[in-house]
Chains A and B, each alone.
Chain A
Amino acid sequence: MSMHLYAFGSICRGEIDAGSDIDLLACLSEPNQSIDPNKFSIYTYERIRQLWHEGNPFSWHLHLESNLIYSSDGRNFLNDLQEPSKYTNATIDCNKFQKLFIESHTSLMKSSNSMIFNLSCMFLATRNFATCFSLGMGRPIFSRLSPLLIDRKLPIERDIFDILVRARILSTRGYGNPISEVEVRAARSAAPVVIQWMDDCLSKEVFCE
């Protein structure tokens, strides 16, 4: 069985803090029960080649921010694939993430049930929007802080954004202190700014599509 293991994401950017996890990728020729799906993103070689062919944002993320940690054949599979196809889906992807943000915000405004999950989805939508937007503009930023780092920066304070980041870590890893009512209100008040920022990004920029 052929296997290539990679580290990717924050650890490759040196962005390490208590909330960071280590993103690991396993590329396999066939299923392997010894690879824990809770620790690794597991892909077949065929699926990775497909993502490369599509120019999927994840292929660009791996191309730009991954490091080989094990190879069963001495080769570097991802490096050998060279550059992924051009990313041409920025408008569709950004619209999809804006929709996710609006749905999550609507659910948050409707009731106090599952507030942290909804805040977590608002983070996911905002981060993915910024990442796809920056990739579409030809200057990709994959950091979880991408909305605050791209050229057309999200105009909210870092401490408000950090509430959304904490919600995401609680939801995906079960780690961290719960978010208080005051913090939820602060994050909720920033939502219209995020929606307006997404509208502005989509109306004023022309992607390299």
Chain B
Amino acid sequence: MSEFNNRISAQRDILLLINSAEWSEELYGLSSGAIERWITANNIKKQSALIQLIQEAASKLFFLSNKSQEQITDEYRMLSKEVQDLTEKIKREVMEIYNWGQSKIK
């Protein structure tokens, strides 16, 4: 699959995880504007672990999007792996929200 489609797919995986919890308004994307809107709509603490993880994943995906789509460099592979690891951490955070409720991030 193309790197372009892979990045979209990685973004979708993260959004599906986050939006599987119950929110006043779901997260529409990993752009800074969409994340800001989601934080405000759901009254979430900006310094919560979940927000930090989302912003880190968004920043890495954004960086990858400015790389060549054809050249698979070591840096590209490393960042892709980091996005996968962040996705796992986001999954664990969302699971904790399921278990302990939204007071964890508000």
Contact = CB atoms under 8 A, between A and B. Distances in A.
A197 interface: no
Contacts of A154: none
Given A37-B62, A43-B66, A113-B16, A171 B28 contact: yes
A30 to B, nearest CB: 15
Q: Which of B11, B27, B34 has the most CB of A within 10 A?
A: B34
A47 B71 CA distance: 12
B94 to A, nearest CB: 12
Interface in A159-209: 167, 170-175, 178
Contacts of B62: 37
Interface in A103-121: 103-104, 107, 113-114, 116-118, 120-121
B4 A114 contact: no
Given A96-B2, A100-B5, A178-B25, A114 B33 contact: no
B43 interface: no
A133 B29 CA distance: 27
A96 B28 contact: no
Contact of B34 (A96, A121, A174): A174
B79 interface: no
Given A114-B12, A117-B12, A173 B4 contact: no
Given A38-B32, A171-B29, A172-B29, A114 B19 contact: yes
Nearest to A92: B2
Contacts of A171: 28-29, 31, 34
B97 interface: no
Interface string A109-146: 00001101110110010000000000000000000000
Interface of A: 37-38, 41-43, 47, 50, 96, 99-100, 103-104, 107, 113-114, 116-118, 120-121, 124, 167, 170-175, 178
The 9 closest A-B pairs by CB, nearest first: A171-B29, A174-B33, A174-B37, A173-B33, A174-B34, A114-B15, A170-B28, A171-B28, A116-B28
Given A99-B5, A173-B34, 17 more contacts: A96-B5, A107-B16, A113-B20, A113-B26, A114-B12, A114-B19, A116-B28, A117-B12, A117-B28, A170-B29, A171-B31, A172-B34, A173-B31, A173-B33, A174-B29, A175-B33, A178-B25
